[in-house]
Amino acid sequence: MNPVDRTITVECLAQASICAEEGRPTPAQIDTIVAAYEQAEACFDAAKATLDTHKKRLIALALGYGDVPAGAEKSTRLLGQLTEITVTQGSTIALKDSAVAALEAALNANDCESVFGRLFSAVTKYKLVKGADKALRTAGLPQRLADKVMRMYGACFDVKTNAPSLKITRLAEQPKRKPRARKVAA
């Protein structure tokens, strides 16, 4: 980034704080802030690419030349003069439900149900049905039961707010829309 770009970024950030103090920003101020955002995003993307390249190189070095520490079979360590690189390769186990069900059926068919219980535990997962709140209100339950069930239903889930998303579209890049035909009154 050259000094001029840094100056523009500082000016853009100053404009952003001015907008917050003055109220509704002008279209020119919005464009200035968007330019600063896009510039920062480009710098971030370049830094991320460089970071990913160095990370891959360090992992390759550790895996190629490192030693396995005692008691850590899934790790490889490589020592520098001032640094130590440790690469750990974890693993996850994904169960295949159909194969587990086939095993359970085979054990049950051979009167060995207790063996399956020592291998697996059943987990039930629920999914909220679209329109469930409406279905509950129209279920026709007695009032006291409906109140109790509604409270219990409300305790069944937490609503988490996602982080706001940002989309920037250049107005010059948008295709021109054809004017809509007016509706004719009948």
Domain boundaries, the chain: 3-66, 127-159
Beta-carbon contacts of residue 111 (< 8 Å; ≥ 6 apart): none
Q: To the nearest 5 percent, what fractions of the chain are helix, strand and coil? A: 55, 5, 40
Q: Stretch 142-169: mean pLDDT, rounded? A: 82
14 within 8 A of 29, measured Cβ to Cβ: no
E-strand stretches of 40-180: 75-79, 84-88
- CA 13/CA 20 separation, integer angstroms: 11
Q: What is the mean pLDDT of the chain?
A: 82
Q: Stretch 10-24: mean pLDDT, rounded? A: 60
Write out the two tokens for 153: 């239903």
Beta-carbon contacts of residue 16 (< 8 Å; ≥ 6 apart): 33, 36
What does the pLDDT look like over 49-92, one tens digit per residue?
Answer: 999 999 999 999 999 999 998 998 889 999 888 899 999 988 88
71-75, 98-102, 138-142: which has the minimum mean pLDDT? 138-142
Residue 184 carries which DSSP code? P
Checking if the pLDDT of 10 tops 90, the result is no
Run of H or E including 109: helix 97-109
| pLDDT of the residue at 4 | 46
| pLDDT of the residue at 93 | 85
Whole-prediction pTM: 0.52
